[in-house]
Amino acid sequence: MTPQVLAAELHAARARTHALTADLEGEREFGPRLAIVNPPRWELGHVGWFQEYWCLRRVDPDRFASARAASILPQADRLYNSATVPHDTRWSLPLPDFGATRAYCAAVLARTVERLERRCDADDAYFAQLALRHEDMHAEAFHYTRQTLGYEAPPLAGGEHPAGERVSGDAEIQGGTFALGAAPGAGFAFDNEKWSHPVTLGPFRMARAAVSNAEYEAFVEEGGYRRRELWSEAGWRWLAQSGREAPLYWKREGRDWRLRRFDRWVALPTDEPVTHVNWYEAVAYCRYAGRRLPTEAEWEFAACWDARAGRKRRNPWGDEPWTPQRACLSQASLASVHAYPEGDSPWGIRQMIGNAWEWTASAFQPYPGFSVDPYQEYSAPWFGTHQVLRGGAFTTSPRIGYGGYRNFFTPERADVFAGFRTCALEAA
């Protein structure tokens, strides 16, 4: 990326952050102390701190020396370093007020852009892209916070979702050997995506559409949350502890189900993907349906392998960049599982990028030969305890939502805009 392109994207990411947080000043700056959210005043400052830490405070010649350049903001490391500041203390730190926090973020951005204009070698470009994607992730996290706390939908522009013909049934995928993961020189990649390595898959069948609210409603109505045989040991323990009888944010009114979307209760949108279900719920549904979750290798193969060309694409639709016609990314709302036909994979599978994250059967583990990147806290601490999700949601930036990105959450998390699609138990 050129300095001009990087600067434009950094400004665009910050504009989105501002749109998502502008109405959180005042009584909402801290909110309740929950394990799955951060206080917005702290999170906004953390976004600015991360950009400053990696883009401005690297010390030459040893860019990762312990004696880093000083922050614009005194004591910033003690306030905002998520690796050293315990989560439950973030509500009681002596944080600058909301206006001062915004000013700090603005000063960091201005200095970052100025530095890129003066010098933009490979390291500078890498860390600018790291900070950019980090801000994208927190923009998505602000969506989760707003949904969790029942705030209004963020004031973001969103166009019509491109309609498509209804898709059903399975795509028959012949299998084969392909390179799972990011190839060197193919652009920015997180350390957990490195590096591509050969994986051989047998034939399998994958659903052309994600599981919809209507399909999941049938599971609920047929006693899915009461049938022990459908749940794993860990899933059944979670269910007993949670007392859940339906997905998070569902409630019954008479004979009908309603869904809370941010601050509003709406009639259950039957054609939308089921969301806010955790990994245990996804596995239980699969057992009910006589199906299974795809592995992440199967998911990436189905999303990106072009059998006719004998090569892997960057995205289901090809190597071309995202457009609003191809995937439901950076949008204001969810779409029908049948929308966005221009984004179909080579196998005719719909919406493998965008709309809702998709749980996979795979535990989050390093690829062969894994080596930690400078941001050491990003991947390594979470291997073995999280499950992989793929694809992106309507809240996800196109910079993150691409065919090789590996998202990861613990299996009980349901605050994420995540659903799933299924595979047949047998190949044919």
Q: What is the DSSP code (8-state) at residue 232?
A: -
Q: How confident is the model at residue 58, as a pLDDT?
A: 80
Cβ–Cβ under 8 Å, residues 193 and 181: yes
Q: How confident is the model at residue 427, as a pLDDT?
A: 85
- Rounded to 5°, the CA angle 74-379-282 comes to 125
Cβ neighbors of 375 (< 8 A, separation 6 or more) are 54, 130, 191
Q: What are phi and psi of 279, to 5 degrees?
A: -65, -40
| Residue, of 321 and 60, whose pLDDT is higher | 321
Give me the chain's average pLDDT, please: 96
**Site of tokens 């203390």:** 89
Q: How confident is the model at residue 1, as a pLDDT?
A: 82
Which stretches within 305-413 are classed as H helix?
none
Q: Token pair for residue 285? A: 């549904």
For the cut 70, the answer to whether the pLDDT of residue 45 exceeds it is yes
- Rounded to 5°, the CA angle 263-28-92 comes to 140
For the cut 80, the answer to whether the pLDDT of residue 63 exceeds it is no
How remote is the C-alpha of 3 from its chain's centroid? 26
Q: What percent of the chain has pLDDT over 90?
A: 95
Cβ neighbors of 328 (< 8 A, separation 6 or more) are 161, 334, 335, 339, 340, 351, 354, 355, 393, 394
Q: How confident is the model at residue 59, as a pLDDT?
A: 61
Q: Token pair for residue 386? A: 């999280």
Q: How confident is the model at residue 158, as a pLDDT?
A: 77
For the cut 70, the answer to whether the pLDDT of residue 89 exceeds it is yes
Nearest-angstrom CA–CA distance, 224 and 244? 11
Which of 277, 285, 250 has its CA nearest to residue 412?
277
For the cut 60, the answer to whether the pLDDT of residue 62 exceeds it is no
The whole model's pTM is what? 0.96
For the cut 50, the answer to whether the pLDDT of residue 298 exceeds it is yes
pLDDT band at 26 (very low <50, low <70, confident <90, very high): very high
Pick the CATH number of 160-428 from 3.40.50.10470, 3.20.20.140, 1.20.1250.20, 3.90.1580.10: 3.90.1580.10
| Interval 5-20: pLDDT, tens | 999 999 999 999 999 9
Q: What is the DSSP code (8-state) at residue 190?
A: -
Cβ–Cβ under 8 Å, residues 306 and 313: yes
Q: How confident is the model at residue 275, as a pLDDT?
A: 98
Q: How confident is the model at residue 68, as a pLDDT?
A: 67
Nearest-angstrom CA–CA distance, 76 and 4? 28
Cβ–Cβ under 8 Å, residues 403 and 379: no
Q: How confident is the model at residue 61, as a pLDDT?
A: 47
Cβ neighbors of 307 (< 8 A, separation 6 or more) are 174, 176, 346, 347
pLDDT band at 60 (very low <50, low <70, confident <90, very high): low
Amino acid identity, residue 99?
A: G
Cβ–Cβ under 8 Å, residues 384 and 241: no
Write the CA distances from 316 to 24, 319, 322, integer angstroms. 36, 8, 10
| Interval 120-178: pLDDT, tens | 999 999 999 999 999 999 999 999 999 999 999 998 877 799 999 999 999 999 999 99
β-bridge partners, 408: 388
**Site of tokens 């790291």:** 130
| Interval 235-275: pLDDT, tens | 999 999 999 999 999 999 999 999 999 999 999 999 999 99
How remote is the C-alpha of 87 from its chain's centroid? 20
**Site of tokens 């010098």:** 119
| Interval 330-382: pLDDT, tens | 999 999 999 999 999 999 999 999 999 999 999 999 999 999 999 999 999 99
